[in-house]
Structure 1
Amino acid sequence: MIKRMLKILVVVNFMFVLCIQAQTPNTVLKHGYPTPPLILYNNQKTQQSISFLYINKIILLHFWSSSVSKSKPFIPRLLDIHERYSTAVYRNADGFEAFTIAVQSDKTAWNEDIVNMKMEGVTNLIAPRGYNDLTIRNFKITQLPLTLLISETGQVLMVNPTQLEIEDVLDGKKNSPVNTKDLKARLLFSEAPTDAVKNHKMVLKNKFGDTLSRTTSDNSGVFTFYGVKFLKDYIIKFDTAGSLQSATKAYLSTSSGAVFGTINKTELGFELPLTLNEINKMNASDKETMAQKNALTVNANVTFKAGTAQIDEGTVSELDKVVTMMSKNKEYILEVVAHTDSRGDDAANLELSKKRAAAVKTYLVSNGIVATKIRTVGKGETMLLNKCKNNVNCTEAEHLENNRVDLKFIKP
Structure 2
Amino acid sequence: MLRLKRNALLFFLIVMSNCYLAAQNVETPLDNAIRFYELQQYPKAIQAFNQLLKSGYATLSAKNKLSILLKLAYSYKQNKDEVNAERLYRQAFSTFPKLISDDAKAYVNFAQVLANNGKFQEAQEYLSLSENIQSTKNQTANMPQNISSPTSQKSVAIVSNTNNYKIEYLDINTSGPEFSPMYYKDGIVFCSEKESSTKLINDKGSLLDLYYLDDLKKVQQSDEPNSDKRKRKSTTKNSKALGDDYYSRQTSNDTKTLNYFSGEDETQRNQSANSESFSKALNSKFHEGPATFNHDFSKIIFTRNNSIGNKKGLSEDNISKLKLYISENINNNWKEALELPFNDNEYSTAHPAWSKNEKILYFASDRPGGFGGMDIWAISYNNGQWDVPKNLGKNINSKGSEVFPFVDENGNLYFSSNGQGGEGDLDIFFAEMNAGQSISKASNLGKPFNSPFDDFGIISDGNRQIGYFSSNRKLGEDDDIYRFSVEKAINDCREMTITVLDAKTKKVISNAVVVITSADNHLETKKTDANGNITFCTIQDTDYSFKIEKEGFIVKTIGYSTKGEIDTESSTLEVNLIKQEPVELQISTTKSSTSTKKSPNPANLKNKSMLTGFVKSEIDQKPMEGVLVSFINVCDNSIQQITTGADGSYTFYMNEDCDYTIEVSKNGYGKNVNKIKKVKKGNTKVISQDLSLFKEGDLITMNNIYYDSGSATLRKDAMRELNKLTITLQKTPTMVIELGSHTDSRGDAQVNLNLSTKRAQAAVDYIVSKGISRNRILAKGYGESELVNSCADGVSCTEIEHQQNRRTTVKIIKIK
TM-score higher than 0.5 here? Answer: no
Quickly name the TM-score band, shorter chain normalised: 0.3 to 0.5
Superposition TM-score, scaled by structure 2 size: 0.18
Greater RCO structure (CA 8 Å; 6+ sep): 1
